[in-house]
A and B are shown apart, each in its own frame.
Chain A
Amino acid sequence: MRTLQQFDLVDTTLRDGEQTAGIVFSAEEKLNIVRTLSDMGIHWIEAGIPAMGEMEQRLLKEMLGMKLNTNLIAWNRAVIEDVDSSMRCGFSYIHVSVPVSDFNIQYKLKRDRAWVLSRLEQTLQYVKANGGVILLGAEDASRADKEFFLRIAELGYQYNAIRIRYADTVGCLNPFRAKEEFDYLVKRCALPIEFHGHNDFGMAMANSVAAYLSGIEFVSATSTGIGERAGNACLEEMVNTLDKLYGYHMDIQTEKMNQLTRTVERASGRKIYKFKPAIGMMA
């Protein structure tokens, strides 16, 4: 059985969850969600994207002033201006994300790997010089060359990054390939890894389980599983499954978690499916 020192969850309800098409949380709802997450015992919360504008920045500053018992993370592209917005809000934990698959680099950025490395390095230099703690994000890692992922991690290591996110951005992993890939990466990666799974094939939970079993140290999730397209790995389901199958018991306050589920259900306007594991009416 693993302990909290070896494995922990990262909540991204307020960032990837709210990024879902059609979902908008009000300021009050966001403050309520972050408070509940903190009270229930979540140690890492991706709070939002300061680069989205002044309104978002004002709210994030308010969050940072709430004296929560958790670590708040700001999500950024590898763009100095984005990072600046986060730093100005007062964030210490700066997530810097870059696409790492050749497919993304070629079709989305219309650049090459050298450009990605150079752009990332400039951004990391900037974060480090300004006293930020770096969390790296590797978008579309499940369709990327593993060696390039490791190269990105090495670069992060040089700038004291504390972990690297392996994002299954389009949810195309299956638990068999995931396990093989994670076993390989865990042994070689310069940084602790965080797995971030999407549910396009209904396997976000299974891939998160693969991550847990491979010794990956962090997994990200959203309350009720909201997220782009078919959503992300569901936080409540993760807490339930890891406890039930592997005896990994997070120090989560169940009552607070139920409160979070109801709050996110109401705020997202998405009624929880009757047959949703862990939180549906039939569970």
Chain B
Amino acid sequence: MDKCINLIDHTINSILTERQDAFLDYKLFDILKKYGVSTVDLSVNSVKSILRPVKSLTIRMEIDACRIPVRDLEQYYTPSINAVILRWRNGDELSALKECLEFARYKMKQVYLKIINTSTLTHGDFEEYGILVKEYGVSGFILCDIESRLDPYTVIDYVNFAKDIISCKIEFCAGNGCGLATANSLAAIRCGIVDIHTVVGGANLTEGAAMEEIILTCKYFQMAEVCERTPDLAKDSRRILQSMQLKVPVDKAIIGNGIFSHESGIHVDGIMKNPKLYEVISPEDVGVKRKIVIGKHSGKASIRMRYQQMGLKLTEEEVAALTDRIKQLALSQNASLSYKQLIALYTLNVNINRNKEVDTDENITTI
């Protein structure tokens, strides 16, 4: 893998937009840096919360070139900002954009142009923007799809068009309204784009693909390198999302707490034979534990193994008796069984004949 991806973050902006209390934990920047984030994009409202420069991260302020009068551009600018992004909807009167670019190039260190409705761009539009990019010394051109109108195959067309015509660096910022943000970003990466907009946990439906998905897919499909090590990815993502009072769903791809939980007899049997039968990545790759859940779908093998983990060896007859009771209990309570319930079932159905001392403290349920 010779390609190295720079992640451009939208999580901090989402946190500041969500909280609106102007408090920001600067440690979050260090966490993001660990995963290959090089740049943080912030709206004009969020940027006020960045009171000091952030070491080794580029902070860019995004401003709506249609709505903010050009003369006001300067008032938002603070020393912590390294660059400005002019957010532009293709189709609006270009003279307003030219006015902004004219002003910005004298006042700002670096100016980026972000087209938020990439799917509307024609070849002619690309040529027009290509001229503006050269004329005003634009540092980067951001293809953005806030309305989620692109699929991975159309992304390839748009990126290739842009590469042919636009002379500056090109970035890609996917929308996730149709659930295609990760795939669309991978399409851009396949076309050679290395600056990819992301948001932890996909916590923004209009700008950025889920950071964790980009990291792991690039690695698994050997498309590019993002960061070397990810054993704390799930934990770090949880911490970041907590800042938005967001809980990571148990089944969230890559970082969900339940993505290595197995219950059905077929799956548990497979996992015991070879985890790769049902797991495409390893739990230790992302820092999530593998769990055997005992419930309605559990087979005899998993029940035997789960009790074995608890230090209790069962005979075939005992397993058969417990399997029926476990299924009945799971159905009656509409949920899988807790450790304590498994102990109680053992005590009532098996240990009554054995009188073995049972450890009632829950151990880690991993295999």
Show the binding face of A for B, using Cβ within 8 Å.
18-22, 24-26, 29, 52-53, 55, 77, 103-104, 107-108, 140, 169-172, 174-176, 179, 199-206, 209-210, 213, 225-231, 234, 237, 240-241, 244-245, 267, 269-271, 273-278, 280, 282-283
Asked whether B178 lies within 8 Å of A108 as measured between CB atoms, the reply is no
Which chain B residues (156-199) contact chain A, with CB distance < 8 Å?
A: 176-180, 182-184, 186-187, 190
Closest CB pairs A-B (n = 8): A206-B183, A205-B179, A21-B263, A21-B261, A202-B253, A21-B293, A202-B213, A241-B178
Asked whether A202 lies within 8 Å of B178 as measured between CB atoms, the reply is no
User: Of B182, B204, B336, which is within 8 A of A203 by CB?
Assistant: B182
User: Of A53, A140, A205, A275, which is within 8 A of B327 by CB?
Assistant: A53
Asked whether B217 lies within 8 Å of A228 as measured between CB atoms, the reply is no
Tell me, in angstroms, the Cα distance from A247 to B204 when the chains sit together. 25
The size class of the interface chain B forms with chain A is: 35 or more
Tell me, in angstroms, the Cα distance from A174 to B186 when the chains sit together. 9
Asked whether B183 lies within 8 Å of A270 as measured between CB atoms, the reply is no
Q: Which residue in chain A gives the minimum CB-CB distance to B297?
A: A19
Tell me, in angstroms, the Cα distance from A210 to B253 when the chains sit together. 19
Which chain B residues (199-225) contact chain A, with CB distance < 8 Å?
A: 201-205, 210, 213, 216-217, 220-221
Known: A103-B276, A202-B182. A230 touches B251 (CB 8 A): yes
User: Of A24, A108, A179, which is within 8 A of B331 by CB?
Assistant: A24
B68 at the interface (CB under 8 A from A): no
Asked whether B270 lies within 8 Å of A108 as measured between CB atoms, the reply is yes
- What distance in Å separates the Cβ of B179 from its nearest Cβ neighbour in chain A? 4
Asked whether A277 lies within 8 Å of B176 as measured between CB atoms, the reply is yes
User: Of A103, A227, A234, which is within 8 A of B179 by CB?
Assistant: A234
Known: A174-B186, A202-B182. A270 touches B253 (CB 8 A): no
Asked whether B262 lies within 8 Å of A176 as measured between CB atoms, the reply is no
Asked whether A170 lies within 8 Å of B280 as measured between CB atoms, the reply is yes
Chain B residues closer than 8 Å to A273, beta-carbon distance = 249, 252
Asked whether B263 lies within 8 Å of A22 as measured between CB atoms, the reply is yes
Interface hub of B187, B260, B331 (most chain A Cβ within 10 A): B331
Tell me, in angstroms, the Cα distance from A227 to B253 when the chains sit together. 12
Chain B residues closer than 8 Å to A171, beta-carbon distance = 253, 280
Chain A residues closer than 8 Å to B177, beta-carbon distance = 244, 277-278, 283
Chain B residues closer than 8 Å to A199, beta-carbon distance = 251, 253
Per-position 1/0 for B314-343, Cβ under 8 A of A: 000000000000010011011110000000
Show the binding face of B for A, using Cβ within 8 Å.
148-149, 151-153, 176-180, 182-184, 186-187, 190, 201-205, 210, 213, 216-217, 220-221, 246, 249-254, 256, 258-264, 266-267, 269-270, 273-274, 276-281, 291, 293, 295-297, 327, 330-331, 333-336
Asked whether B296 lies within 8 Å of A169 as measured between CB atoms, the reply is no
Q: Which residue in chain A gives the minimum CB-CB distance to B263?
A: A21
- What distance in Å separates the Cβ of A251 from its nearest Cβ neighbour in chain B? 20
Chain B residues closer than 8 Å to A108, beta-carbon distance = 269-270, 273-274, 277
Chain B residues closer than 8 Å to A280, beta-carbon distance = 205
Interface hub of B216, B253, B281, B291 (most chain A Cβ within 10 A): B253
Asked whether A244 lies within 8 Å of B148 as measured between CB atoms, the reply is yes
Tell me, in angstroms, the Cα distance from A3 to B98 when the chains sit together. 45
Interface hub of B151, B269, B331, B335 (most chain A Cβ within 10 A): B151
Asked whether B334 lies within 8 Å of A275 as measured between CB atoms, the reply is no
13 sampled A-B residue pairs with Cβ under 8 A: A21-B295, A22-B335, A107-B274, A172-B280, A176-B190, A200-B281, A201-B213, A206-B179, A209-B151, A241-B180, A244-B148, A278-B177, A283-B205
Asked whether B183 lies within 8 Å of A174 as measured between CB atoms, the reply is yes
Asked whether A201 lies within 8 Å of B152 as measured between CB atoms, the reply is no
Known: A19-B297, A203-B183. A275 touches B273 (CB 8 A): no
Chain B residues closer than 8 Å to A26, beta-carbon distance = 331, 334
Q: Which residue in chain A gives the minimum CB-CB distance to B276?
A: A103
Asked whether B273 lies within 8 Å of A201 as measured between CB atoms, the reply is no
Give 10 new A-B contacts, CB below 8 A, not counting A21-B261, A171-B280: A21-B262, A24-B295, A104-B277, A107-B270, A107-B273, A199-B253, A226-B251, A230-B252, A275-B176, A277-B179
Tell me, in angstroms, the Cα distance from A176 to B261 when the chains sit together. 29
Tell me, in angstroms, the Cα distance from A209 to B154 when the chains sit together. 12
Q: Which residue in chain A gives the minimum CB-CB distance to B221?
A: A174
Chain B residues closer than 8 Å to A104, beta-carbon distance = 270, 277
Asked whether A25 lies within 8 Å of B216 as measured between CB atoms, the reply is no
Chain B residues closer than 8 Å to A231, beta-carbon distance = 251
Tell me, in angstroms, the Cα distance from A228 to B250 when the chains sit together. 11
Interface hub of B176, B220, B280 (most chain A Cβ within 10 A): B280
- What distance in Å separates the Cβ of A7 from its nearest Cβ neighbour in chain B? 16
Chain B residues closer than 8 Å to A244, beta-carbon distance = 148-149, 177-178
Asked whether B202 lies within 8 Å of A275 as measured between CB atoms, the reply is yes
Chain A residues closer than 8 Å to B184, beta-carbon distance = 206
Known: A108-B277, A244-B178, A245-B178. A175 touches B250 (CB 8 A): no
Asked whether B205 lies within 8 Å of A241 as measured between CB atoms, the reply is no
Chain B residues closer than 8 Å to A205, beta-carbon distance = 178-180, 183
Chain A residues closer than 8 Å to B187, beta-carbon distance = 175-176
Tell me, in angstroms, the Cα distance from A126 to B169 when the chains sit together. 62
Asked whether B216 lies within 8 Å of A201 as measured between CB atoms, the reply is yes
Chain B residues closer than 8 Å to A29, beta-carbon distance = 334
Q: Which residue in chain B gives the minimum CB-CB distance to A233?
A: B179
User: Of A170, A176, A275, which is within 8 A of B203 by CB?
Assistant: A275
- What distance in Å separates the Cβ of A83 from its nearest Cβ neighbour in chain B? 16
Tell me, in angstroms, the Cα distance from A234 to B253 when the chains sit together. 13
Asked whether A200 lies within 8 Å of B176 as measured between CB atoms, the reply is no
- What distance in Å separates the Cβ of A26 from its nearest Cβ neighbour in chain B? 5
User: Of B148, B153, B263, which is within 8 A of A20 by CB?
Assistant: B263
